Amino acid sequence: MQDEVKQLLETARAAIKSAQNLEALNQIRVQYLGRKGILSQKLSGIKDLPEQERREAGKILNSAKKELEEILFSREQELGKEIEQAERKQKIDVTLPGFGIQRGSRHPVRMMLSEIVEIFEGMGFWIEEGPDAETDFFNFTALNFPIDHPARDMQATFYLENGLLLRTHTSPVQIRAMSKLKPPLRVICPGRVYRCDADTSHSPMFYQLEGFMVDKHINFAHLKGVLYEFLKNVFGSGIKVRFRPSFFPFTEPSAEVDIGCLICGGKGCSACKQSGWMEVLGAGMIHPNVLRNVGYDPEELSGFAFGLGIDRLTMLRYKVEHIRMFYENDLRFLKQFY
């Protein structure tokens, strides 16, 4: 009997010690001392023992019951103090000074986008918009992309299950706008674009702005004049600008436009890939095939188009070395742009 009760007490002590709240402690109390509890059942069974064993068994069981009640009471007091301390921490002290409401601000990329739109609106351009999920026709075919062009590959474009794709540039809006409007046109098309690309200066989702002008007698000099004026407004009159011959399916002739890297001052850094220059624009004269695809006569009309990355210009404006920082939602970073 004595060994059995000793083992029972050890088990009960361990259970009581591990109880994390009053509800669990009460369940242990009922388990051992309740009406049908383990110890209560043993006390009730004393009457069935031989007469010479009853006194000793009663002494052992009553002693165990008393000890168990003391352990339960002690643990109950401990839990009560823990609960009181937790409640005290949760209470609001109205005498303490309050916390000021943090001021929000616009995202730096959106701030840059608004500034760029304002500059072009000052030059007579207006805004047209289009869907993020595009058809292959508007995103590639109408823009003179060959059927085997690498931009159509899965590695470069996000294709959707419904036959659409996430637009890889804002140029589809150019097709949509020219299809419904008659020249003369001065249009900008800002919005999100998506590509399978990620490094220091590229992100799978980023903001781009397409711009184009269509009228009679538009030439490359008009394009250079608009872009020089734009870049000087954004980065100041001392900005270095260069045009490099390039190729785009939807423009001919085509050019890449670079500016001197403002992050390293032209010395070379990770953002400009150690070249001292950073590409900010792609531009050129609208290809005659594109004009024909929207019903324009390239013998009567001409135009230019350009596309720029808003995120990359924001990096240069604020000397941010990695485009990823714009999308990490780190308030320590974003608060610097109030």
Q: What is the pLDDT of residues 9-60, one digit of tens each?
A: 788 888 888 888 888 878 888 887 777 778 777 777 777 777 767 777 777 7
Domain boundary among 57, 90, 123: 90
Same domain, 135 and 194: yes
Whose CA is closest to 139, among 159, 113, 155?
Answer: 159
Q: What angle do CA 224, 227, 229 make, to 5 degrees?
A: 105
Residue 292's contacts (CB-CB under 8 Å, 6 or more residues apart) are 298
Write down the pLDDT at residue 305: 96
Same domain, yes or no: 267 and 118 = yes
Which of these ranges, 49-58, 172-181, 244-253, 299-308, has the smallest mean pLDDT? 49-58
* Residue 171 structural domain: 108-337
pLDDT value of position 127: 95
Q: Is residue 100 part of a domain?
A: no
Which segment of 58-67, 208-217, 246-255 scores lowest on mean pLDDT? 58-67
Rounded mean pLDDT of the chain? 85
Tell which residue, 248, 233, 231, 234, has the closest CA to residue 282.
Answer: 248
**Cβ neighbours of 137 (radius 10 Å):** 12
Query: Which two tokens mark 258?
Result: 């670079």
Q: How far apart are CA 106 and CA 71, in angstroms?
A: 61
CA–CA distance, 334 with 338 (Å, rounded to integer): 8
Do 170 and 224 fall into the same domain? yes
| pTM of the predicted structure, to 2 decimals | 0.64
Range among 13-17, 216-220, 307-311 rated most confident: 216-220
pLDDT 10s digits, 146-168: 887 777 776 678 888 888 999 99
The predicted model gives 51-74 an average pLDDT of 78
The contacts of residue 281 (CB under 8 Å, 6+ apart) are 227, 256, 257, 306, 307, 308
Domain CATH for 317 = 3.30.930.10
